[in-house]
Amino acid sequence: MALREHRPSVVRVASSVSTAPIFAVWAPIPLRVEVVANGERHPMHEDGGWWKREIRDAHGGDIDYAFILDGREPVPDPRSPHQPYGVHGPSRTVRHAAFRWTDAEWQAPPLETGVVYEIHVGTFTSEGTFDAAIQRLDHLVQLGVTHVEMMPVAAFPGARGWGYDGVALWAPHHGYGGPGGLKRLVDACHAHGLAVVLDVVYNHFGPAGNHLGQFGPYFTPRYRTPWGDAVNLDGEGSDEVRRFLCDNALMWVRDYHMDGLRLDAVHAFVDTSAIPLLEQLSETIDDFEERTGRYVVLIAESDLNDPRVVRARRAYGCGIDAQWSDDFHHALHVALTGERSGYYADFSGMRDVVRALSDSWVYTGQYSQHRGRRHGRPPVDVPRSRFFGYLQNHDQIGNRARGDRTSHLLSPQYLRIAAALVLTAPFIPLLFQGEEWGASAPFQYFVDHDDPALAVAIRDGRRREFAAFGWQPDDVPDPQAVETYERSKLDWREAERTEHASLLDWYRRLITLRRTFHELGCGTSGNPEAVWDESAQTLLVRRGAFTIACNLAPVDRLTDLAGGRQVLLASAPGVVPAGAATVLPPGSVTIFRDGS
């Protein structure tokens, strides 16, 4: 597929006489478009659905501007690089070339050798800014993290939110520190040896501050999503809509030096095109890699269990590098907590953990009770390094009524077992901020809408959702309340307290083992050999010369592991490898290596 020329909204055009900005916007719907720049209105000229205007007298510094469509109220630029006054205010130009990057020699490590750490900028620190996050990068390096994955930072309504209701996809949220703050954070991450992956949302736009429908056919009424009309990916005018999204992806990796993008909920794309958007995004990023020599990854969130998402394009796949794999999480969560409500009803516990370790997914075409239909397809010949494995992430915590973390649900012993299974699995491990020390702060759903009716609708909708699970309305935190946001912030002092420091040390040692021994990572040691003994409540996972032995019972268990093994790491004292059997303490996990 030939790539079309990248056309940003605002560019600087040099000539032998002067340098003046050209404003451009795709707007095939209005009959007349004006740009108001620094308080002055200028008519624009139409060319194939694009409206343009060079303003020679708008010199010196960045420019505040907006577009006026058919004489109505000014609205922000769909490709606005900065929204300093919020999503309802005017846009501002950004001179990306003025930032002094220090990462000229930087190259991100391969994702399959990595440990990924997900953060929400607003709750990662008490200040909730890009610059404040820089102060915590040493902690991530000491933990052994290689990639920082940021939840969406594109401008969204209000001062606080998860970021999945963004409407200005090209503008880093002003409350976090805007374009300059994001660049400083990415540059600092690279200086610390950390790659950066940004979560982007292309399946829908937020309800507040969304003016795209006034410009062009960005949405289609032919399909519906949980958030309203679907993004127009396959109807009339969709070429420019898809280019809008692909150019946005390019902008993040080019102007902000992102090392990868995580594509939110790609299963919500409704796209009947012969070349789906995912494939076009993959080719767009591959072309960027070829031109720059930089290694960039695309990661999809998908609950389709469809291997075509991560198959190479030459094998008639979409060419996405990796994807989140909920089956492993769901199976592990059920095994350790016993919860079976909602989508957990499809999972039986450790038997499904064994299946996920062996087959990457639990559902590969069999009947799903939760969905009421068959689900999935076998990921034949797709390496496990294309899948993420995790115990926690923002969804699995925030989808709970009170935003409970796994540390609120499991004993310290089970937390260590869970961490060991995640960090020795053949998947790319993903950790959620604070998981490594058992943070007590929940991660609750929060918003900040200035429309009272919208805020009430979100609150009541969330309460209705959880009423089906027996929750009373007052038990579900109000997303609009400032307190809901504040209680979700990490308390970094906890990491130094004895009970938290012990778990943190456990995570550090597990990550060190994974990075030291190739066979405990996304290696090529073949399928893990996992055996679950239901009656004894023991799980043995064999990975080459290594064995991960878990005892979930409340008493000592004997296993048939023969002596002569080296104990690399044990969560509890009392492991006795001797003779023809090994004693495993109750509620423990031990990692053995063949030989002494």
Active site amino acids = 264, 301
E strand intervals along 343-450 = 367-368, 373-374, 387-390, 428-432
9 contacts 78 by C-beta, under 8 angstroms: yes
Q: What angle do CA 376, 225, 91 make, to 5 degrees?
A: 125
Q: Which tokens sit at 216?
A: 């062009």
CA–CA separation, 231 vs 220, rounded Å?
6
CA–CA separation, 21 vs 26, rounded Å?
17
CA–CA separation, 521 vs 229, rounded Å?
42
Instruction: Tell me which H or E stretch contains 394.
Output: helix 394-398
Residue 269: exposure state from Cβ atoms within 10 A (0-12, 13-18, ≥19): buried
- The DSSP secondary-structure symbol of 264 reads T
Asked whether the CA dihedral 199, 451, 221, 210 is positive or negative, the reply is: negative
Q: Which residues pair with 43 in a beta bridge?
A: 34
Q: If you search the block for the tokens 């918003």, which residue do you land on?
A: 447
- Max distance between CA atoms of the chain, in angstroms, equals 87
Taking only Cα atoms into account, the Rg of the chain, rounded to an integer number of angstroms, comes to 25
Alpha-helix runs per DSSP H in 470-575: 482-486, 498-516
Residues 6 or more apart in contact with residue 565 via CB below 8 angstroms = 547, 577, 582, 592, 593, 594, 595, 596
Question: How many C-beta neighbours within 10 Å does residue 56 have?
Answer: 10
Q: What angle do CA 165, 169, 175 make, to 5 degrees?
A: 70
Strands of 581-584's sheet in order across: 557-559, 581-584, 576-578
Buried b (16+ CB within 10 A) or exposed e, 405-418: bbbeebeebbbbbb
Instruction: Tell me which H or E stretch contains 286.
Output: helix 277-292
Q: Which residues pair with 324 in a beta bridge?
A: 301, 388
E strand intervals along 421-528 = 428-432
> CA dihedral in degrees (211, 217, 221, 224; nearest 10)?
-70
129 contacts 161 by C-beta, under 8 angstroms: no
CA–CA separation, 281 vs 260, rounded Å?
12
Residue 10's alpha-carbon distances to 77, 170, 204, 407, in angstroms, are 9, 12, 24, 47
Q: Which tokens sit at 471?
A: 């929750």
Q: Which residues pair with 225 in a beta bridge?
A: 228
CA–CA separation, 433 vs 488, rounded Å?
11
Q: Which tokens sit at 251?
A: 């902008």
584 contacts 553 by C-beta, under 8 angstroms: no
CA–CA separation, 556 vs 584, rounded Å?
6
